[in-house]
Amino acid sequence: MRFTTRFVLSSFMLTALCSSGCSDENPKVEPSPEELIFGQFYGECSGERCIEIYKLDAQKQELSEDVKDIYPTVNTPYVGEYVALSTSFYRHAEDLGQSVPAQLLREPNGAIGQPDAGDWGGYYLEVNKNGKRGFWLIDTQKRNLPAYLHPLVDTLRSRIDKLP
């Protein structure tokens, strides 16, 4: 009887562990988007670095910078006028699409957090993949963001800092 009880208990614990621990903790990484538009913006700011928007085209292996520098809105995707940068800048951003979490692609278009609410700026991110387009204005303050976006905003900050 004692053996049977241990066996049943062990089987139960193994099943419980596998149902929680054997699950896919890291969701599948989706293929990178064909085009990624990203950047940063500040409303109460002066100078060239107040609005920096870039377009990363994976098919052309090209990074371009927007020259219009228009403050993005939550209602419509950003419409820029892009000029290609040197290949060395593409290398700084080429893997940025791999940093976009799959969960973000399920979020509705618009603001996440309170971008630029306290003059702390925001990030603009647009993903064009398989004919679908999603865009978000993302807070720079992690305290206003879901935890799944923290690595993305860290990556955006570091990559944008390396670009002209």
pLDDT exceeds 90 at position 110: yes
Provide the pLDDT for residue 38: 98
The confidence score (pLDDT) of residue 55 equals 97
What are the strands of the beta sheet with 82-84, ordered from one edge?
82-84, 62-66, 51-57, 35-41, 122-129, 132-139, 110-112
In which band, very low, low, confident or very high, does the pLDDT at 10 lie, cut at 50, 70 and 90? Answer: very low
Stretch 4-11: mean pLDDT: 38
The gap from C-alpha 16 to its chain's centroid, in whole angstroms, comes to: 34
Please say if the pLDDT value at position 31 is more than 80: no
Q: Give the per-residue pLDDT at 88.
A: 93
Instruction: Compare 10 and 34 and report the one with higher pLDDT.
Output: 34
| Residue-level pLDDT at 33 | 76
pLDDT, mean over the chain: 84
**pLDDT classification of 47: cutoffs 50, 70, 90:** confident
The predicted model gives 61-90 an average pLDDT of 96
Beta bridge partners of 97: none
Domain 35-161 falls under CATH 3.30.1380: no
Confidence at residue 129, expressed as pLDDT on a 0 to 100 scale: 85
Strand partners, 57: 35, 62
Given a cut of 90, whether residue 29 has pLDDT beyond it is no
Cα separation, 58 vs 83, whole angstroms: 16
- Average pLDDT score over residue span 92-114: 95
User: What is the mean predicted confidence (pLDDT) over 33-53?
Assistant: 90
